[in-house]
């Protein structure tokens, strides 16, 4: 990611934070706008063209997306007026706004936890992952499939995020997109996601102690997702951001075998 995109993302995130009346309709319109740009290299190129005046790019937004709600148009205009390293980064930035808007719209919904469960479901079903990631599949049909699978099982924001992700993967794996969305939702809510792999489910006191320890270590609130994997034998393996903390018995046994092997 270029420095221009980093600054543009910060500016659009700030615009979202300053906006009022953020609801799921805003999030939905942002996702549709991102898909529209993804389907038109001419339009996305025009909005990402740093040689054009910011005001001119904002006028293009008003012309193309003028039927959207005023909050959505304002956010799209703010994004278009930034300097992005590429048109693809601009589309990513608008998708990010959609994910963050969904997190804001229903603050009580456990979106991170639900996205994690969706991630596990897809990982455990290769045929489903293949169907969702196929370049040949119809985008609308993929969205309908996800909605039929998740209806009644997840909150509306989670369904919107996943449905939008599968409809415009843009050469990215579905699991990668959902993992990114999970991290962005947590970030929007001021916390980080930690995936804990343990031989058996953690008890409530164990989960509380681990969450407290990780929060203290990383200086932020932690959202804990637990994966049960008997192969770790005992202890835990924690993955958070780019860090891996491996205190599992299987890891220690592996290290011991390596040492004995010389």
Give pLDDT tens digits for 12-28.
999 999 998 999 999 99
How many Å apart are CA 52 and CA 40, to the nearest integer? 18
Given a cut of 80, is residue 190 above it in pLDDT? yes
- Residue 259 pLDDT greater than 60, yes or no: no
**Is pLDDT of 262 > 60?**
no
pTM (two decimals): 0.85
Segment 63-119, tens digit of pLDDT: 999 999 999 999 999 999 999 999 999 999 999 999 999 999 999 999 999 999 999
Average pLDDT over residues 245-257: 69
Q: How would you list the strands of the sheet with 221-228, edge to edge?
A: 221-228, 191-198, 236-240, 243-246
Average pLDDT of the residues in 160-185: 91
Instruction: Quote the pLDDT of residue 182.
Output: 94
Sign of CA dihedral 24, 30, 36, 38: negative
HSE-CB of 48 using CA atoms within 13 angstroms: 23
What digits encode the pLDDT tens for the residues 217-233? 999 999 888 888 888 87
Domain ranges of the chain: 3-105, 111-187, 191-260
Taking alpha carbons only, the member of 190, 24, 10, 189 closest to residue 101 is 24
Residue 234: pLDDT band by 50, 70, 90 thresholds? confident
Query: Cα-flanking dihedrals φ and ψ of residue 213, to 5°?
Result: -65, -45
Average pLDDT, the chain: 91
- CA torsion, ordered 43, 45, 48, 50, to nearest 10 deg: -120
254 pLDDT band, cuts 50/70/90, is: low
Distance CA(37)–CA(94), nearest Å, equals: 10
Predicted local confidence at residue 32, as pLDDT: 97
Beta-carbon-side half-sphere exposure of residue 34 (alpha carbons within 13 Å): 28
């Amino acid at each position: 990611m270029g420095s221009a995109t980093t600054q543009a993302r910060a500016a659009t995130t700030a615009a979202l934070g300053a906006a009022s009346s953020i609801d799921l309709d805003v999030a939905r319109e942002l996702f549709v706008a991102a898909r529209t740009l993804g389907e038109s290299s001419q339009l996305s190129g025009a909005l990402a063209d740093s040689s054009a005046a910011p005001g001119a790019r904002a006028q293009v937004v008003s012309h193309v997306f003028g039927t959207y709600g005023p909050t959505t148009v304002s956010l799209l205009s703010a994004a278009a007026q930034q300097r992005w390293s590429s048109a693809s980064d601009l589309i990513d930035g608008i998708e990010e706004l959609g994910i963050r808007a969904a997190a804001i719209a229903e603050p009580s919904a456990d979106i991170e936890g639900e996205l994690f469960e969706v991630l596990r479901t897809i990982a455990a079903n290769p045929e489903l992952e293949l169907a969702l990631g196929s370049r040949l599949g119809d985008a609308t049909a993929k969205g309908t499939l996800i909605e039929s699978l998740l209806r009644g099982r997840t909150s509306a924001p989670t369904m919107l995020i996943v449905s939008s992700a599968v409809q415009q993967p843009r050469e990215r794996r579905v699991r990668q997109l959902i993992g990114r969305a999970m991290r962005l939702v947590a970030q929007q809510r001021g916390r980080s996601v930690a995936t804990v792999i343990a031989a058996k489910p953690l008890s409530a006191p164990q989960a509380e102690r681990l969450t407290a320890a990780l929060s203290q270590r990383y200086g932020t609130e932690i959202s804990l997702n637990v994966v049960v994997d008997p192969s770790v034998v005992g202890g835990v393996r924690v993955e958070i951001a780019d860090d891996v903390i491996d205190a599992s018995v299987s890891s220690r046994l592996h290290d011991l075998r390596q040492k004995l092997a010389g």
